[in-house]
Amino acid sequence: MKVLVLLGAPGAGKGTQADILARNLGLPRIATGDLFRSAVRAGTPLGVEAKAYMERGEFVPDEITVRMLLQRISAPDAARGVILDGFPRNRAQAEALEAALAARGAQVESALYIEVPEADLLQRLSGRWLCQAHGHTYHDTAYPPRSPGVCDVDGSPLAQRDDDRPEIVAARLRNQLGSLEEVVEFYRPKGLLRTVDGRRP
Ligand code: ADP
């Protein structure tokens, strides 16, 4: 089982790169944020529990997150491998993943860290818009759609994620940079970390 972990702050471009890697490698991209958002939309017990944390820009507790992720990577489409986007987010999650993979004779092959300075992150996140149908991403200044508020690809309306609103963005960043560092320092001594400059085109 080939397991790649993508690391980066919110807005670093993990989702974009994960999609490209998933296509090129023929592996599913598994994003815990997406799993939580669809649980919230579906109104499942998991979604109900996660919603309050997400709205505050806080992490959902490890116990819930780890259980959901391990269940997802046990699905048949994940047998050959996975690209993890948004997990692990702290040391405890990284250890839980390591143990679960070891139990099936696997391990993380590589942790790809997309590095972007904090000032760029704030600016990127608060201008981000997503298409409602398929999540195609746009940006107020860096990558505006051809006609305002409408997706170039499928014509669906664009919306801002609730947690991309400027007042939430700063809290999300503060909350996440510290634990990102923890995960980076978990993989670095194992020789698994590869750092990429996230400002390059
Ligand atoms: P962001 O890049 O802002 O974290 P995501 O889509 O990855 O966006 O996640 C959205 C929200 O889902 C997070 O703010 C958090 O509440 C929750 N979440 C996602 N992944 C995790 C995780 N590994 N651990 C805890 N909470 C998570």
CA of 33 relative to ligand 1 center, distance in Å: 5
- How would residue 20 be classed by pLDDT, with cut points 50, 70 and 90? very high
Predicted pLDDT of residue 112: 97
Q: What is the pLDDT of residues 83-101, one digit of tens each?
A: 999 999 999 999 999 999 9
> In ligand 1, which atom is closest to the CA atom of 88?
23
Mean pLDDT of 38-52: 95
Q: What is the DSSP letter of 150?
A: B
Beta bridge partners of 7: 113
Which residues have any ligand 1 atom within 6 Å of their CB?
A: 10, 32-33, 36, 53-54, 57-60, 65, 86-87, 89, 93, 163, 172
Q: Are strands 81-85 and 29-31 parallel, antiparallel or unpaired?
A: parallel
Predicted pLDDT of residue 181: 94
CA of 153 relative to ligand 1 center, distance in Å: 26
Instruction: Identify whether the C-beta of residue 183 lies closer than 8 Å to the C-beta of residue 89.
Output: yes
Q: What is the pLDDT of residues 117-169, one digit of tens each?
A: 988 888 888 888 999 998 899 999 888 999 999 999 999 999 998 888 877 88
